[in-house]
Structure 1
Amino acid sequence: MAWEVLSIIGTVAFAVSGAFIAMEEKYDIFGVYILGIITAFGGGAVRNLLIGVPVSALWEQEMMFQIALLAITAVFLFPNNLLRHWTRWGNLFDAVGLAAFAIQGAIYAVELNLPLPAVIVAAVLTGSGGGMIRDVLAGRKPLVLRSEVYAVWAALAGLLIGLEVIRTDTGLLLLFAFITVLRILSYMLKWRLPFRQITTQT
């Protein structure tokens, strides 16, 4: 049950996130649907490539594609006064998508009996891969590659699931809430990872 719930939550959250950013960049309706779909399913596609699962497995998720299309359509039809609050709601949807898909990716890797490093990588790629592709297509610097704490939370989810610290559906849903809150806090409180900047002299 947790798998299905998290899949639906992640799909809706990232589809909405992609659609919002497409409209922010003034894409036409076709671009809005493309960016929304890529954001929702891009991470899973990259994960499947890395762990040896045929990418064609994505096309078996007919219901998820329908859910994503409905979510994108709803966003496209939102009144303008609601769309103005994208900055506030966009980070929430992004946090929800990150948490849901990170956990889903980790569960997927565990079910394939992959080692712990692969579980963590699957969590990170599933949780942040779609967002990375979205940002690149929108001409933005990928959020996951900045100093802002983002993919670390996906890795934490993969670690806890890979070590079998959390096994029950209730535990997975609590982990989802925990990762979502951590991501929101890291954004609101401006938590940063260490980084170095090279300045060139002219």
Structure 2
Amino acid sequence: MTWEILNIIGTMAFAISGAIVALEEEYDIFGVYLLGFVTAFGGGTIRNVLLGLPISDIWNQHMLFTIAFITMTLLFFIPFHWVLGFKKLWGVFFDAIGLASFAVQGALFAVMAGYPMSAVIVGGVLTGTGGGMIRDLLAGRKPLILHQEIYAMWAVLGAMTVGFGIAESTWQLILLIIGIVSLRMLSMIYQWSLPTRLDWLIKLKKMKS
């Protein structure tokens, strides 16, 4: 049940995220469906390839494809002007939900398959960020995972929490997802970022002077 809930939440969130990016770029309905589907299912496809899992498992998720299709259709045809007026904020919010849900799901997948912690982290990060990377590349944008703003580290945090058995029950996983979404939104609002080489050089120069 937990697995299916994470699948549905992540699929809907990433389908909306991809559709919003397509609407921002003023794509036609085909572009909306294309970006929505690759965002929703791209991460799972990359995960299966790298972990040696059957790609056919992705195509057997008929219910999820239907959910994604209905979600994107509603977003395209229903005039949500009061929502789309804040496309960037809503896009980040739904992307954060997809990131958290799929990162946790990917980590659970690796744990249940008996993989070591390294694979749990890779599974969580790629499932959570893979679809967004494909979406941004198709839209001609710099992938969020490469931004200085903290993004993928929240997926790493979620995967490690699952891998170490800190979050196992349904309620613990729900709280973990809420925590990741909250941290992702806060990192965007307050522009938290990881250090770069330039930051380190500037700090070193100050220490010497």
Same fold, judged at TM 0.5 (above): yes
Name the SS of the counterpart of 2:141 in structure 1: coil
Q: 1:61 to 1:80 in 2, by over 3 A?
A: closer
Whose radius of gyration is greater, 1 or 2?
Answer: 2
Report the alpha carbon displacement of residue 80 of structure 1 after superposing the two structures with TM. 5.7
Matches within 5 A, 1:180-195: 180-195=181-196
Give the distance between the partners of 1:121 and 1:76, measured in 2 at CA.
Answer: 33
Written as runs of structure 1 = structure 2, the 5 A alignment for 1:31-110 is 31-79=31-79, 81-82=81-82, 83-110=84-111
Distance 2:168 2:20 in 1: 34
In the TM superposition, what is the alpha-carbon distance from 1:81 to its structure 2 partner?
Answer: 2.1
Report the Cα distance in structure 2 between the residues aligned to 1:17 and 1:98, rounded to whole angstroms: 11
Q: Deviations over 1:58-105 (max 9, x none)?
A: 011110100000110011013162322212211110111110010010
Counterpart AA for 1:36: G
TM-score by length of structure 2 reads 0.91
Q: CA RMSD in A?
A: 1.0
Q: Number of residue pairs matched?
A: 197
1:116 has 2:121 as partner: no
Q: Match of 2:197, SS?
A: coil
* Aligned residue number for residue 206 of structure 2: none
Residues in 2 aligned to 1:138 and 1:196: alpha-carbon distance in whole angstroms: 28
Q: CA separation in 2, counterparts of 1:29 and 1:121?
A: 33
Residues 42 and 130 in structure 1, CA contact (< 8 A), matched pair in contact too: yes
Q: Distance in 2 between matches of 1:192 and 1:147?
A: 5
Cα distance in 2, alignment partners of residues 111 and 136 from structure 1? 31
Question: CA-to-partner distance for each residue in 1:102-131, whole Å, 9 max, x for gaps?
Answer: 001001111110000000000000001100
Q: Which residue of 2 aligns with 1:5?
A: 5
AA aligned opposite 2:53: V
Counterpart contact for 1:105–1:127, Cα < 8 Å: yes
Per-residue deviation at 1:42? 0.2
The Cα shift of 1:27 comes to 1.3
Percent identity over the alignment?
54
Secondary structure at the aligned position of 1:147 is classed as coil
Q: How far did 1:55 drift?
A: 1.1
Which amino acid in the other structure matches residue 184 of structure 2? R
Counterparts of 1:43 and 1:54, CA distance in 2: 14
For the structure 1 residues 10 and 131, does the alpha-carbon distance in structure 2 shift closer, same or farther, using more than 3 Å as the test?
Answer: same
TM-score (norm 1): 0.95
Contact 1:2 1:173 in 2 (8 A): no
* Offset at residue 24 of structure 1 (A): 1.1
Q: What secondary structure is seen at the aligned counterpart in 1 of 2:195?
A: coil
Hey, which bits of structure 1, 4+ residues long, moved more than 6 A? Answer: none
Aligned-residue offset at 1:5? 1.2
1:168 aligns with 2:169: yes
Task: Name the CA distance, whole Å, in 2 between partners of 1:172 and 1:2.
Answer: 9
Q: Give unmatched runs, 5+ long, in structure 1.
A: 198-202
Give the whole-Å Cα distance in 2 for the aligned partners of 1:112 and 1:87.
Answer: 37
* Contact 1:10/1:100 (<8 A) preserved: yes
Structure 2, unaligned runs of 5 or more:
199-209
